Structure 1
Amino acid sequence: MTEHLTEHTPAPAEPGPEPMATVTFLHPTPTTVPPMPSEPPTVGPDNRTVVLETARVILDKPTPAPAPVVGRVEKVDLDDFDADAPLVPAWMYSAEGWAAWAGVFYRARRRDFRRWVRRQPTQRGHVRQFGRGVRRTHEWVVGFEGVRVQSAAHTAHVLTREAKLAARHARFTPRILGTKKELAMKATEKATKAAEEAVLLHKKAKKDRNRARNLRAGVAYGPPLTAIGTGYVMAGGLGLAAGLLSTFAGGAFVGRKPYDEEADWTSDWRSLGDGDRMTAPMLDATFRAAKVIGSEETLGVVQMPMLDARGAWTAVLDLPPGVPAKKAIRATDELAAAFGVEEAQVSVAKRGRAGRIELYVSRELPFTQDPVPGPLLALESPANFWGRISIGPDVRGIHQSISVVERSGLIGGEPGAGKSGSGNTILLAAALDPRVILHLADGKGGGDLEPFEPLCEAYEGDADPEAFDKMLDDELRDMKARYALLKKLGRRKVTEELADKYPELRQKLLWVDELMLYTTDDEYGKKITRKLRNLVSRGRAAGIITFCATQKPGSDVVDTSLRDLLSIRWALRCTTPEASDTILGKGAAASGYSAKTIQSEMRGAGLLWAEGTNPTMVRADFYDDNQVTALIERATEWRRAAGTLPKAPLRLIDQLTALADEGDEDAAVFAKVLSCFFVEDIAARQRAVNGGMDREKAEEEITVDWLPGQVILDYLKSQYVPVTAEKLAALIIRTDEEKAKRLWGEKGSRLAGYPLARVEAAATTRFGLTA
């Protein structure tokens, strides 16, 4: 019999072979349901036939067919669609679909923007591309015609010089030689013609080069300028922006391809001196090239390279383990060569510990700019020489100062290095402190120290070794008196409070310029060296500060026993490392501190070794002559107000008058004799003026240096000083030549008299005075 199974109708269980499986239809197909049988089916004799009783009522309408069996695959023809119907994505039919699409689009654009931002610092960045495009365009415009121009110029210069020499030779060849003169003239004509042709070729090469460059420049720069100008004229600012953007796009397109390693010929030689930035890889490569670190070693960057306010590069670096800082300091010359700069532009200093250095590379040669006004010009009150003294800026522009209390110093350098200007920084600081006693000795005999003379209590400006030897005797006596007072007070050394309380213990500055002249003198050189060494070694605690300046303080100029006692060393420009070592000490140049590296343009700069373990490159504060004069005038006012301005030396007549006031009759006679010369000098000038001579000229030219004895006796009598001719002759002993008679007066009488020089010599010898 036939069975009709519906959806979800299980097969009847019977003891047959296997039950029937349930079938699910995916695609219904319309069918006709057969009518139910009117009678029940008969049962077979084997009792194994299953009779299905149907209790379902089948409606007359058709029923959907069951779904197809799961796993059944039906073939679909993808080309079977309506060609006129639009292809519309499903996501466009709902707001959720639009939102999803918008999110995908936003994330994609954001990733693109981030990718673009990361690309810009690389060689593929648009700015880099535009830069390469501009560079390539410029190189194309410049071309290679310049080589021809340079070659033609060189040839023209050589031939022109030869023509000049030939013309000179022909000019000074005498005509008497005949044939040689003619040959010289022909050679001159030939050389001149060749030179003229070379000059014409040079001009033609320049003209061709300019024509080719102008043509290429029009082709390269014409379209961008036209686009920018037309855009601005047609659409204003918007058109200008469009023109600039199109120009930028064009340049970026030209430079879209970066230089590869083979084509970039600049990568091998460009360095810090060519304008490159200082980076960590550059530092590693530089220190390896200078043999400071090994080929496999790297530097530890403590402070990344950066530009300071002066446009110089600075960095703090840690050297590899086992490499001391002094190795980098000694290799300053090699580092400068690797950086592509001058040695004076590189400064390497120890920073904190043995393996850490501070690197400073200035963009330009330091200390070549015009100096700024020194800080002493801004003082409104007296300076304090007990405190720190301003010296000048270092290569970083940081102002350096030192303390000279209980110190002594040595300044050295070649002629023209700036010793006088450097010394002014210390001398002016001492002069502006009214409490400081100035004793100066000018071994040069020039005028460098002359402006300070009115402020000095002792001054030797004639470069006289004998006078300086006597000055040192006075210094040693003063040092002994200072120590006696300190011993009486129970003190070990002079302090500022003690010096303010006792004027005898005020600070004293002994400045010796051009020490070489004094120490190399045959008669007084060894004495001066011994006394100066005694003063430097013992005078510090007594408040005596000694500074010496000389060109090359070698052992033949300054004994090493004296030179080693001078603790402050200032080495200005020197010609050799050995000369620098004589100032800074043996081994300083080998350690990387040599004044030979100072260029001639760096006037006033030097290595100052005053405090710390290493010298520092410093440029002394500069004061011109007008500023020095103004500061000395200010110092004079402050010293006058403080009562420490040295008194001017008394004239001989005033010294004699002072002795006469004390009761010395012979001193009174000498004083009146000198007064007689003074009166006659005025009278002689007045007679000259009455005779028609100009008064200024009379004061310059008319002097009375000899007087008759009778004139002197008459004057003494009028001044109530009765002296006989015999007594006057006994006081003023003359030579036979000085006793000779001379013409005197309008009548021309021949009289015996006394020279002024003999009177002054007799007075100074008799009473121990100074004229």
Structure 2
Amino acid sequence: MTEMPTGPSHKSTDLATVTYVHGAGPATKTSPGPAAPALGGTTETTDRAAVVESARRVLEGTVTPAPAEVEKVDIDLDAFDDRPLIPAWAKTPEGWAMYSGVVYRSRLRAYRRWVRRQRTDRGHAAQFKRGARRVQDWVTGFEGIQTQALAHQAHVAAKEARAAARAARYTPSLMKNKKQTALREADRTQTVAMQAVNAHKQAKNYRRKLRALRAGAAYGPPLTAISTGYMGAGALGATAGALATFAGGAFAGREAITEETDWSADWRSLGDGDPMSAPMLDEVFRRAKVIGADETLHMVQMPMLDARGAWSAVIDLPPGIPAKKAMRAISEIASALGVEDAQVNMVKTKGKGARSGRLEIYVAKELPFTENAEPGPLLALEAATNFWGRIAIGPDVRGLAISISVVERSGLVGGEPGAGKSASGNVILLAAALDPRVILWLADGKAGGDLEPFRELCEYFEGDADPEAFYEMLKAAVADMRARYALLKKLGKRKVTEELANKYPQLRQKLLWVDELMFYTTDDDFGKKITKLLRNLVSRGRAAGIVTFCATQKPGSDVVDTSLRDLLSIRWALRCTTPEASDTILGKGAAAAGYSAKTIEPEMRGAGLLWAEGSNPVLVRADYYTDDQVELLCKRAYDLREAAGTLPEGPKTLADQLRDKGEADADVLAVLVDVFNAYDQEAKEVDATGEVDWLPGTILVDALKAAGLDITPEKLARLVVREADEKGKRVWEDSPSALNGYPLKAVLRAVQSKYGLTA
């Protein structure tokens, strides 16, 4: 570009601006002349004079420009103008669109950053809720309080007016002064009541109007915005109106409501629905005073959910803190977790990697053992059970099946009334009944119907709550125990095994079940005797194949002697009313170690702490069988025993009991008892009151020889010892002279002294 005067002699100086456009041709004169090359191109030295001459002619105005044809070329958008680093395409529509998009996105991001910088308490949704609540509180106002007060005044005034009117009506006319006074009082109270009622109505109308006005002011704009937006722009407009409403509500709820700033804002628990985490467990154990304020737990297994929706974790307590300290504080830990005591289960880890301070904590989602029990496994069992193996008891809090072995063991089941002792006992009784090899001896101390379904399967059954009958049962059991040990000595064995029991029917397993032991042991006449025999049976009968189980409500020392209670190795504590009662079942110190049946809730029927195997009790619920299911299983047990030939033969006679001893002297005494019974029955056929209490020795010796027992009168006299007054001779039927004989009581005395059996 060059600026020059248009002429050498003009007074005014007019400047002409010449711009050379890339690609355009040079200006020409009216007459043809040489064309100048385009500026910016490469020219030779010989062409420069022509270019300068052409420019001079144009500046002098001697050349009239002619219309030039400009060739249309594509613009290079990467070219730059005189402003630095601004491409030419920025001025195109595409460039303006891109620039607008950049501005829009940057403004949107700036707006979002501004929103995030705003003060919120628990998020914008909670802020909008507070705003909506504040708006609603403003709409409601305080007029309702005044209206309610006026309503109360109107009610009181109307009540007083009715009372005054009643008094005026029933005041006798003869009492003029009182009548007039009552009438005036009735008029006054009626006027006051009407005024109070009118004031209440006015207050209600005033409240209604104000609320309507405030509701219109509060809810009118949002509804108008949403409806107008919907009619104008459809769903997009309605959305814009809703967002504007949300923004207004959030603005109104900027400040937190005072009543919301409670402990829950800072402290949440598992019971509030929060997931279990390592920080939560740290805080829980701190609040429970198990660990110090500056101590933390070591997570061996991070908290996780199982298939039942319960949380579990394995933790290590800080050094120097034993696991039993945490187990003693189970109530405090449950409180800090926000759940019931029964929902928390803590046990020491077992097996490889176990430590004194390592705990496995399990928190159930709901209170365990409150749902309907699943059908017991015995219902699906078609074959016989094996009482020598493990017995299925029921599930624990995690749903895992728990089983125990009762071989060479004895047990105690205790708990408050209604805790589920009968249902728990059925688990063991049904397992024993369905094994046709097991001999059942049952005693029911409450004379109820719980054990009645098992009566036909029992060899010995005492269902009348008779302490004397139970005492006789225990005597028979002790005698059987002695016979078992005698047979074991002959076989050279120390204890009964499954192989020996299968080979020798006399050594079959025997289950002695005593329900409501308290009734028997507290009897004035037989209580101490029963305790002594039962202690003898529990302490010595295990190796002989006799399993004893006792069930009672409160097995204290006044009910069960401690020397007997300590021998019962399997303990099952159902719900108890006190920790001390729980300790009488599980043992002293169990409650202090964190195992107390007091924590079992009443809704958890059939649940109890079972201490059978291992170092710690386990919370287990016994498998539940209905009455119909118990009868069905007992019928199945009857069929199994009938097929195996082990059904009880009913009460055995004294002679049969003697023959079961398998000894020569017992066989002799059995024949003598049979002979006396035969003569006695023959005498009763002649005379109903007749009886035979003495027989000649010759008749007894002949009967023994007929039975294949070769015994001399001298040997018989040594076996059946007679007292001095029993040796006298008597006349027998048609015998010509008196004969020597034996009285029945001498025979029975010999049976009792030698074998402990009574008629």
- Shorter-chain TM-score bucket reads 0.5 to 0.7
Q: Trace 1:660-699 onto structure 2 (pairs within 5 A).
A: 667=678, 670=681
Deviation, structure 1 residue 668: 7.4
Deviation, structure 1 residue 298: 0.8
Deviates further, 85-94 or 587-596? 85-94
User: Structure 1's 668 and 568: CA in aligned 2 closer, same or farther, altered over 3 A?
Assistant: same
Aligned counterpart for 1:434 among listed residues 406, 414, 436 = 436
Deviation, structure 1 residue 259: 9.5
1:731 aligned onto 2:726 = no
Question: Could you say which residue in structure 1 is the equivalent of 2:662?
Answer: none
Aligned counterpart for 1:634 among listed residues 615, 633, 636 = 636
Aligned alpha-carbon RMSD (Å): 5.4
Deviation, structure 1 residue 397: 2.0
1:130 aligned onto 2:121 = no
- Kindly indicate whether the alpha-carbon contact (under 8 Å) linking 1:392 and 1:620 is maintained by their aligned counterparts in 2: yes
User: Structure 1's 557 and 211: CA in aligned 2 closer, same or farther, altered over 3 A?
Assistant: farther
Q: Cα deviation per residue 1:654-685 (whole Å; 9 max; x = unaligned)? A: 99xxx99x995974774896xxxxxxxxxxxx
TM norm structure 1:
0.60
1:315 partner SS: strand
Counterparts of 2:366 and 2:206 in 1: how far apart (Å)?
A: 38
Deviation, structure 1 residue 625: 1.0
- Kindly indicate whether the alpha-carbon contact (under 8 Å) linking 2:121 and 2:256 is maintained by their aligned counterparts in 1: no
Counterparts of 2:330 and 2:607 in 1: how far apart (Å)?
A: 18
Deviation, structure 1 residue 508: 1.0
Question: Could you say which residue in structure 2 is the equivalent of 1:393?
Answer: 395
1:497 partner SS: helix
Question: Could you say which residue in structure 2 is the equivalent of 1:76?
Answer: none
1:349 aligned onto 2:347 = yes
Q: Trace 1:357-436 onto structure 2 (pairs within 5 A).
A: 357-436=359-438
Q: Cα deviation per residue 1:42-100 (whole Å; 9 max; x = unaligned)? A: xxxxxxxxxxxxxxx999979xxxxxxxxxxxxxxxxxxxxxx9989646769xxx99x
- Kindly indicate whether the alpha-carbon contact (under 8 Å) linking 2:573 and 2:585 is maintained by their aligned counterparts in 1: yes
Deviation, structure 1 residue 139: 7.8
Q: Trace 1:518-597 onto structure 2 (pairs within 5 A).
A: 518-597=520-599
Deviation, structure 1 residue 296: 0.6
User: Structure 1's 588 and 516: CA in aligned 2 closer, same or farther, altered over 3 A?
Assistant: same
1:480 aligned onto 2:478 = no
Counterparts of 1:207 and 1:394 in 2: how far apart (Å)?
A: 65
Question: Could you say which residue in structure 2 is the equivalent of 1:505?
Answer: 507
- Kindly indicate whether the alpha-carbon contact (under 8 Å) linking 2:290 and 2:325 is maintained by their aligned counterparts in 1: yes
- Kindly indicate whether the alpha-carbon contact (under 8 Å) linking 1:130 and 1:254 is maintained by their aligned counterparts in 2: no
Aligned counterpart for 1:463 among listed residues 457, 462, 465 = 465
Question: Could you say which residue in structure 2 is the equivalent of 1:266?
Answer: 264
Counterparts of 2:561 and 2:599 in 1: how far apart (Å)?
A: 26
Counterparts of 2:637 and 2:221 in 1: how far apart (Å)?
A: 71
Deviation, structure 1 residue 483: 2.0
Counterparts of 2:637 and 2:141 in 1: how far apart (Å)?
A: 67
Count of aligned residue pairs for this structure pair: 554
- Kindly indicate whether the alpha-carbon contact (under 8 Å) linking 1:345 and 1:366 is maintained by their aligned counterparts in 2: yes
2:555 partner SS: coil
Counterparts of 1:601 and 1:123 in 2: how far apart (Å)?
A: 50
- Kindly indicate whether the alpha-carbon contact (under 8 Å) linking 1:442 and 1:449 is maintained by their aligned counterparts in 2: yes
- Kindly indicate whether the alpha-carbon contact (under 8 Å) linking 1:574 and 1:595 is maintained by their aligned counterparts in 2: yes
User: Structure 1's 88 and 61: CA in aligned 2 closer, same or farther, altered over 3 A?
Assistant: closer
The one-letter code sitting in structure 1 at the alignment partner of 2:338 is G
Q: Trace 1:93-492 onto structure 2 (pairs within 5 A).
A: 128-130=123-125, 133-134=128-129, 137=132, 263=261, 266-268=264-266, 270-351=268-349, 352-492=354-494
- Kindly indicate whether the alpha-carbon contact (under 8 Å) linking 1:130 and 1:255 is maintained by their aligned counterparts in 2: no
User: Structure 1's 262 and 668: CA in aligned 2 closer, same or farther, altered over 3 A?
Assistant: closer
- Kindly indicate whether the alpha-carbon contact (under 8 Å) linking 1:387 and 1:403 is maintained by their aligned counterparts in 2: yes
User: Structure 1's 615 and 214: CA in aligned 2 closer, same or farther, altered over 3 A?
Assistant: farther
Deviation, structure 1 residue 308: 2.5
The one-letter code sitting in structure 2 at the alignment partner of 1:731 is E
Q: Cα deviation per residue 1:641-663 (whole Å; 9 max; x = unaligned)? A: 111122345899x99xxx99x99
Segments of 5+ residues of structure 1 without an aligned counterpart are 1-56, 63-84, 164-192, 194-200, 674-715, 717-722, 734-762
Q: Cα deviation per residue 1:322-352 (whole Å; 9 max; x = unaligned)? A: 1110000000111122222222222221123
Deviation, structure 1 residue 540: 1.2
- Kindly indicate whether the alpha-carbon contact (under 8 Å) linking 2:411 and 2:570 is maintained by their aligned counterparts in 1: yes
Deviates further, 136-145 or 298-307? 136-145
Deviation, structure 1 residue 442: 0.9
Counterparts of 1:588 and 1:348 in 2: how far apart (Å)?
A: 14
Deviation, structure 1 residue 133: 3.4
Deviation, structure 1 residue 292: 0.2
Q: Trace 1:33-72 onto structure 2 (pairs within 5 A).
A: none
Counterparts of 2:647 and 2:141 in 1: how far apart (Å)?
A: 75
User: Structure 1's 455 and 284: CA in aligned 2 closer, same or farther, altered over 3 A?
Assistant: same
2:264 partner SS: coil
1:514 aligned onto 2:511 = no
Q: Cα deviation per residue 1:396-451 (whole Å; 9 max; x = unaligned)? A: 22221111111110011111111111111111111111111111011112111111
- Kindly indicate whether the alpha-carbon contact (under 8 Å) linking 2:459 and 2:650 is maintained by their aligned counterparts in 1: no
Counterparts of 1:207 and 1:452 in 2: how far apart (Å)?
A: 78
- Kindly indicate whether the alpha-carbon contact (under 8 Å) linking 2:131 and 2:251 is maintained by their aligned counterparts in 1: no
Q: Cα deviation per residue 1:609-660 (whole Å; 9 max; x = unaligned)? A: 11111111111111121111111111111111111122345899x99xxx99
TM norm structure 2:
0.61
Deviation, structure 1 residue 562: 0.9
Q: Cα deviation per residue 1:187-211 (whole Å; 9 max; x = unaligned)? A: xxxxxx9xxxxxxx99x99999999
- Kindly indicate whether the alpha-carbon contact (under 8 Å) linking 2:495 and 2:543 is maintained by their aligned counterparts in 1: yes
The one-letter code sitting in structure 1 at the alignment partner of 2:399 is G
2:265 partner SS: coil
Counterparts of 1:558 and 1:341 in 2: how far apart (Å)?
A: 36
The one-letter code sitting in structure 1 at the alignment partner of 2:635 is E
The one-letter code sitting in structure 2 at the alignment partner of 1:602 is M
Deviation, structure 1 residue 130: 3.1
User: Structure 1's 439 and 141: CA in aligned 2 closer, same or farther, altered over 3 A?
Assistant: farther
The one-letter code sitting in structure 1 at the alignment partner of 2:597 is A
Question: Could you say which residue in structure 2 is the equivalent of 1:759?
Answer: none
User: Structure 1's 124 and 490: CA in aligned 2 closer, same or farther, altered over 3 A?
Assistant: farther
User: Structure 1's 488 and 251: CA in aligned 2 closer, same or farther, altered over 3 A?
Assistant: farther
User: Structure 1's 313 and 764: CA in aligned 2 closer, same or farther, altered over 3 A?
Assistant: farther
Deviation, structure 1 residue 127: 10
The one-letter code sitting in structure 1 at the alignment partner of 2:322 is P
- Kindly indicate whether the alpha-carbon contact (under 8 Å) linking 1:505 and 1:542 is maintained by their aligned counterparts in 2: yes
1:731 partner SS: coil
- Kindly indicate whether the alpha-carbon contact (under 8 Å) linking 1:130 and 1:249 is maintained by their aligned counterparts in 2: no
